Amino acid sequence: MFTISKGFAVISATKNLHLPYIKDIFASGRTRFLEWVVSENQNCSSTSIRDPTVTRATANRKLGPHKRTPYEDINALKAKANAKTRQVIAHERIMKRLSVGLFRMSNNISEDDRDLLSFAFCCNPLDPKAWGELLVDTGVVAIDRHHFGSLAPGSPLFDDVINVMTEYLYDTTSTKWFLPTYFWSEGAKFVRPSNRMTSCARTHKLCRLVRFNGRLKDCMQIYIPMHNDVIGHWYLLVCDIFHKKAEIWDSLPDVHHNKKCENDCHISVSGEAFVQCY
Amino acid sequence: MSRGRSDEDTVKLKVQYNKDGVQTFFRVKRSIKLQKLMEAFCKKRSLDPKSMQFTFDGVGLEKNKTPEELLLNFVQLGMEDGDEIDALELVDGA
């Protein structure tokens, strides 16, 4: 009893305690006294000049998953999930549009390629402006979306797509000549002997053969796109000038139409148009 | 006082259809879009405008341009008034 009162007297001297507190402490006993000392020490530390030491226990730490409320960012989470779902749906829709029959587009293509394909081949079919939009323009031939769509599998190919390709392949230094489809259409026509010169001039003008500048000596191969108008099929006539032979490259050879193809090629190549143009 | 159109305002163009070689003559205002000429030709020959392509010297003509704008190109290409436009039918195949 004495020791406690002695210790108490020391504390009271330093903290300027009042008498009623002391009476209370003695009345409640030792446990209550210790609690009081701890609370007094905490109050003292909050008013002290020194900064509180930041420890692991007192630091503001990020809440763990078990302490975090599930209602915190529910809207943001919903928006994120919706955006992802929308993206997946859009991707699947494009892929579905690009698939033909049993054949499906591979998922390995990049997003840029996918967007490019969807821009070129998928548009609103009821919008006439979208179909008339020019996608390729070489300055000589231009292709709108409607004709560009003929490159899709399963649809017949328009001749201006082939003409654009021949324009791209044209090179002044190349030994290979790629002629447009007009050469076939003009060469296949029946021309009276008296009109041959006019027909030749017309073919020369239409196919813009001036650009080759009559360099037949430097030419090795001439590629002429041909068309079978009976079955509606494109094939290629390759005239090898160097080896003096001609080949027909056909992706869909048909026994019944082989003779017709050969005849058409003979007419186009042996016609006056071919000979006199150079 | 003459009410006839002056030659300076108009341009004479000749359109030749590649299938039969028949030529059709047009006299159009320089400020009119070529699309109108193309549509008039297709209507006259009962053709589908979507399946036709019009070229001059092998160069495709744009529908939105006028003969006035084209004449500028004609000067560059060395073409004169009264020259020929080719009407080509588009072909498709597998």
pLDDT tens, position by position, B23-69: 999 888 878 888 888 999 999 999 998 888 888 878 888 777 777 77
Chain B neighbors of A194, CB-CB under 8 A: none
* B59-60 and B23-29 beta bridge pairing: unpaired
What does the pLDDT look like over A32-86, one tens digit per residue?
555 655 555 555 444 555 566 777 777 777 777 777 776 667 788 889 889 989 9
Beta strands of chain B (E only): which ranges?
10-17, 23-29, 52-56, 59-60, 84-89, 92-93
| Residue in B55, B57, B91 nearest the CB of A159 | B91
State the ipTM, two decimals: 0.79
Cite the DSSP H helix spans in chain B.
34-45, 67-77
Chain B residue with the nearest C-alpha to that of A211: B58
A170-277 topology per CATH: TATA-Binding Protein (3.30.310)
- DSSP structure class, residue A173: T
Inter-chain CB proximity A140 and B90 less than 8 Å: no
Cβ separation A140–B50 shorter than 8 A: no
Q: Give the list of residues 6+ apart from residue B81 with CB closer than 8 angstroms, or none.
A: B11, B12, B71
Nearest-CA distance from B67 to chain A in Å?
A: 17
Alpha-carbon distance of A198 to A191, in angstroms, equals 10
Kindly determine whether residue A158 and residue B90, on different chains, have CB atoms separated by under 8 Å. yes
**Residues of chain A predicted below pLDDT 70:** 1-52, 70-72, 270-278
CB B87 within 8 A of CB B52: yes
Q: Tell me the domains of chain B and their CATH numbers.
A: 10-89 (3.10.20.90)
